[in-house]
A and B are shown apart, each in its own frame.
Chain A
Amino acid sequence: MTGGRILVVEDAIVNRKLIERLLRQEGHAVTAVGDGLAALEALGGDGEPPFDVVLLDLVMPGLDGYATLARMKADSRVAHLPVIVISAVEELDSVVRCIELGALDYLPKPVEPTILQARLNAALSAKRLRDLEVEVAAQQAELLRTIARQKEELSRFLSPQIAALVSSPEGERLLAGHRREATTVFCDLRGFTSFSEAADPEEVLGVLRGYHAMMGSLIVEHGGTLEHFAGDGMMVFFNDPVLQEDHVLRSVHMAVAMRERFAELASGWAKRGHKLGFGVGIATGHATLGRIGFEGRYDYGMVGMAVIVASRLSSAAEAGQILLAPRSHDAVADQVVAEPIGEIQLKGMSNPIAAVNVLGLRGAGKAGVSPKPAMPEAQS
């Protein structure tokens, strides 16, 4: 073992010189003092004390070994230093008292070099292990701070549920891919293309920011997972990665709330001459969810017939309409007020489907009741 830094506290000058010499010839760096006050002074100062082990005599003038030990243990800066008390064999009761006070070990007098080395090496190992633990704990704390910072940063780029999923224990499995029933919501603006062609870019971005901010807060409020947004279009799904027993109802609540809040926004835009409308498509079905993309850019995505149906329904919806696919409607039929819009033929699908348009919610849903929401006139 390489040398340590040892503080020797011993009033008998012959023994002090002898111990100092025995330690130096074993390669230790030694500071030797004659009483407790001098020892505390040597241990003083800021930061880590410059010693690994303290060898402490008990019977000393001024501040004796017991008082010195008690003061060391009361000082959090030096309390961790291993202390070996030096004691004559006939003073074993003193040794017990010292160990109760926090001493690590004792050394019988007269000092026997082999025992001195053995006890000292054990104390040095303890001190080095402790130093290592402190170092590892500091590294670990730094690592945890980094992870927390990354999580926070990640949650700005991803939906909160997906950010949480990435760092959860089951994240790897769910990201790798899984099948689950989910409800997909597509929504976009009617008249946005002609608006964006005619208006100033600042105006277009201003409208989009207002729209995104409002829709974003409603998605979070209803527990939806935003899969993506592109321009005026958004795809949100429910029941994944967080399971939601009422995922269909949640999606309808969100869509109704979106339609109401959109009406407020749209009336403001209408005053500036912009005619914009809002359409939604909702479908429920089994889908595959997980990491989709390529090395360097992955998204948490959803693939399945429900996604395609919701997308097509959104395209088919007129301004102010929330179109529900039959399976979604079945799940919430007694909780929503809806009107059939007849069979519609969706692009790329062989059979027409019987979608309904949601007029409002039955009873006092959290998104509020609005049997026939007032929507501004808009071009589809």
Chain B
Amino acid sequence: MDYDGITSYGFPSLETIAQLSQESLVACGFGYKARMLPRIAKEIIEMRLEERIQGMPVEMAVELLQHLKGVGRWTARVAMCDLTGEWAIYPFEDLAVRTWASRLWPEYAWPREEGAFLQTWQDINGPSTGIVTCYLLAQATLTSQERLREQPILHSLFE
């Protein structure tokens, strides 16, 4: 849809995704996920998940989503964090969190192993773990963009 000279795109509906062919998704660059996407879209429709998660405690919704084949702990938590803004459920052992904790908070010797990092990150940040993670990842994005601006040659290659 064009509005004020700008073209905006709606996210494809579940019905549209459910009908996409594997070939078209492979051509789009999806690899092994090409088979997964239409199946998951169908399951969300059939299980009426959009309606069922309304008002449901977010941890319960995370559990429910993991009944979908191909949706594990990380995917369910990232999706529900995205949808609700509840950063307390983010998978804190995520590689991006481990990487940027080391870069932006080098004063602490963060464990490299996922489980040990998760435990330490939660112990150190306590009830603020979610909000600290949110700001850490936002700062990571801004820091990356600052680096791109400082390296104009690299910047133009990306464009």
- Chains A and B belong together in one complex: no
